[in-house]
């Protein structure tokens, strides 16, 4: 193109990057924007790396569920660190004191792994309306739940930091945060409403329905 002139790219830009927003203090959780999620799975890689030093989505505490609505759509599922009276997983744990519980000091859910009964029990998962707690029997047959990547009192959620579309936010609750606890099937069904009035499972009307003929 004749209008083009060779010039070096600008080295740096000043912007409003999300990384410049300070992390919240006090009670906080990971809020998932499912409409923005593109389903790349980077969060799962970062999570398993932080907690287990490997890249394996089965060892991730955040999970991507992919649906065909029939347009493909991915939604995230991650613990919303529910308020005290809403902690169904903690209530359901058969152990006393509960293996899965909120630690007010560290300000996130924790699992006492040596006491956990594993996937054979699974009552925490079944009690959670979003089925957030996960098990990976081959390597980690204990309940896995988001700990906000807390280490020595610092919370740096790796999934939030890696998410390329800012579909995950680490925030203080602005709403009763258990309201974020929605089963992925229901999230997908909600987004499918955007395709109304397409008939379920179809993307077009057949030419015969439009123009007639056999």
Partner 1 sequence: MRDKKFKLLEVDLSNEKIQTVDVTSEVRRFVGGRSLGAKLLWDRVPPKADPLSAENVLYFGIGPMTGLLGSVTNVSAKSPLTHLRGQSNMNGHFGVEFIYAGYNSGVIFTGKASRPVYLFIKDSQVEIRDASHLSGKSGIETQNLLTEELKKEIDDQNIRVAAIGPAGENMVRNADICHDFYHHAARLGMGTVMGSKKLKAVVVKGTRSPDYAHPDKVLEIMKKWLHAGRLYRIQNRRWGHTQSMSGRYYKTVEGIKNKQKGWDDMCDLFNPVLLEQRYKIWGDACHGCPVACKVPYFMMGPPLGPFAGELRHDNAGGWSANVMIPGYELQGYLCSYVDYLGLDGEDVSGVVAWMMECYEKGLVTKEDLGGIDLTWGNVEAICALLKKIAHREGIGDALADGLKFAPAKIGKGTEKFAITGKGVAITSYEPRGSMKDALELAGTAVGEIHGARGNPDRIMFDSLTGCSFWRSTVQDIYGSIADWAIQGLHATCDWKLSQEDWRLLELRGATMERCYSIREGHYVPERDDVMPERFFQETIYNKYNEPKKLNKEEFLAKRKELYRSYGLKDDGTPSPEFLEQLGLEFAIPVMEETLKS
130 vs 146: CA distance, rounded Å = 13
Least spacing, CB of residue 16 vs partner 1, in Å: 14
Please report the DSSP string for 111-160 in residue order: E-GGG---TTT-HHHHHSTT---EEETTTEEEEE---TTEETTEE--HHH
Contact region for partner 1 (CB under 8 A) — 36-44, 84-92, 120-128, 143-151? Answer: 36-44
- Report the residue from 103, 113, 126, 139 that binds partner 1 according to the rule CB under 8 A: 139
Distance set, CA 125 to CA 140, 182, 190, 210 (Å): 15, 13, 22, 47
65 vs 37: CA distance, rounded Å = 10
Residue 40, interface with partner 1 (CB under 8 A)? yes
Residue 102, interface with partner 1 (CB under 8 A)? no
- Report the residue from 28, 30, 42, 148 that binds partner 1 according to the rule CB under 8 A: 42
Nearer to partner 1, 64 or 89 (CB): 64
Per DSSP, what are the bridge partners of residue 77? 63
Using an 8 Å Cβ cutoff, are 76 and 168 in contact? yes
45 vs 54: CA distance, rounded Å = 8
Nearer to partner 1, 28 or 149 (CB): 149
Nearer to partner 1, 57 or 106 (CB): 57
Least spacing, CB of residue 47 vs partner 1, in Å: 11
Q: What is the CA radius of gyration of the chain?
A: 21
Residues near partner 1 (CB under 8 A), total: 47
Among residues 27, 25, 29, the alpha carbon closest in space to that of 132 is found at 29
Least spacing, CB of residue 130 vs partner 1, in Å: 13
DSSP 35: T
3-state secondary structure of 45: helix
What mask of x and - would describe binding to partner 1 in positions 140 to 179, judged by CB under 8 A?
Answer: ----------------------x-xx--------------
Nearer to partner 1, 1 or 84 (CB): 1
User: What residue ranges bind partner 1 (CB under 8 A)?
Assistant: 35-36, 38-42, 45-46, 49, 53-58, 64-68, 70-74, 136, 138-139, 162, 164-165, 184-185, 191, 194-195, 197-198, 201, 203-205, 207, 210-211, 213
């Amino acid at each position: 193109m004749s209008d083009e002139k060779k010039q070096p790219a600008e080295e740096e830009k000043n912007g409003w990057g999300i990384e410049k927003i300070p992390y919240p203090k006090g009670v906080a959780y990971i809020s998932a924007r499912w409409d923005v999620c593109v389903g790349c799975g980077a969060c799962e890689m970062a999570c398993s790396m932080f907690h287990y030093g490997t890249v394996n989505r089965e060892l991730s505490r955040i999970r991507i569920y992919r649906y065909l609505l029939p347009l493909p759509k991915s939604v995230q599922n991650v613990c919303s660190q529910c308020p005290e009276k809403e902690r169904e997983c903690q209530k359901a744990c058969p152990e006393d004191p509960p293996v899965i519980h909120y630690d007010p000091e560290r300000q996130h859910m924790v699992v006492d792994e040596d006491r956990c009964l594993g996937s054979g029990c699974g009552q925490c998962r079944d009690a959670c309306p979003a089925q957030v707690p996960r098990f990976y029997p081959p390597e980690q047959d204990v309940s896995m739940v988001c700990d906000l990547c807390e280490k020595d009192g610092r919370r740096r959620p790796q999934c939030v930091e890696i998410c390329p579309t800012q579909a995950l936010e680490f925030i203080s609750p602005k709403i009763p945060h258990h309201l974020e606890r929605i089963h992925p099937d229901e999230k997908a069904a909600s987004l499918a409403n955007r395709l109304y009035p397409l008939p379920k499972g179809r993307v077009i009307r057949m030419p015969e329905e439009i123009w007639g003929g056999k």
